[in-house]
Structure 1
């Protein structure tokens, strides 16, 4: 009877850990899009941010380009952590061969996803948009574009680029405008 309780407790702990991991993944993968008026007085305030060396760097708050830069940096940081985790599994002598093979496949899929995102972002910029960020998750793609109003032609251009590069159908592509 004691063994049954111990297994039950372990299963409950693993399920809780799984749910918590999924929650963390979801809140980290989607950007918080907030429309800001760039002519507001707060947009021109400059704050000093501490860098890792202790120096200060001046950054404009509310700068529209900061959203895209910050998002890319955060996305790259999370992807780097994910890649490091997968490499640890691959290089772990105690890991099973099956888990090593799955980690290798996941690492290759991650690299392909990063390549697609970078390609789509550059192609959208080549179409004349100032900034763009794409988030590929599962079987859908979300695109955030800097624009003061997207015409139907521009939406069609973005959709065409995403569809051709990722292979996703139009109903799996979401385009968000960021001013």
Structure 2
């Protein structure tokens, strides 16, 4: 049973036109509503980017900073050489394992050096350099130290590196 079977052509067109007009009207109302809602949203103000804080400015006489840069450059070269070795195909398991251990040691030493330098900075030692080797830890401090300060530095280095005090060297850098 079709209720629209008695409709003639012009009557169908009129209802179709009315339906299309009603549909368009509601579409327009929805569009206006969305525009109104979105216009109420205020975007946050744009802030100027904050430049990164540079701990200190470089000066040509700053040998401690030069030493840090040289240490990091050498460590990067070592890590790159080990990585090149690891990238080679056909390495024996023993060589691959030794190379992976060396890369891990380099990464851990860099992290410990950074951690110890930050701890020393927090303790008030503004200029310091930490170098962790296979047998020795060297801490260079840019200040004249009292015996208790040297002891504190040694204890911190021993805690961070898990090495004995006999393998930690604290050096005062004269200016």
User: Normalising TM by the smaller chain, what interval?
Assistant: 0.5 to 0.7
Measure the CA separation in 2 of the matches of 1:144 and 1:71: 10
CA shift, 1:128, in A, is 0.3
Q: Does 1:110 align with 2:93?
A: no
List, as ranges, runs of 4+ consecutive aligned residues in structure 1 with deviation greater than 3 Å.
none
- Unaligned runs of at least 5 residues, structure 1: 1-58
User: For this pair of structures, how many residues does the alignment match?
Assistant: 117
Alignment of 1:28-47 (within 5 A): none
TM-score between both structures, scaled by the size of structure 2: 0.63
Measure the CA separation in 1 of the matches of 2:92 and 2:66: 37
Between 1 and 2, higher relative CO (CA 8 Å, sep ≥ 6) is seen in 1
Equivalent of 1:75, from 71, 74, 80? 71
How big is the alpha-carbon RMSD for the aligned residues of Structure 1 and Structure 2?
1.4
Alignment of 1:17-166 (within 5 A): 60-61=59-60, 63=61, 66-147=62-143, 149-166=144-161
Q: Which residue of 2 aligns with 1:170?
A: 165
Q: Which residue of 2 aligns with 1:18?
A: none
Find the structure with the greater CA-based Rg: 2
Task: Give the secondary-structure state (helix, strand or coil) at the position aligned to 1:134.
Answer: strand
- Unaligned runs of at least 5 residues, structure 2: 1-57
**Conserved in 2, the CA contact under 8 Å of 1:89 and 1:99?**
no
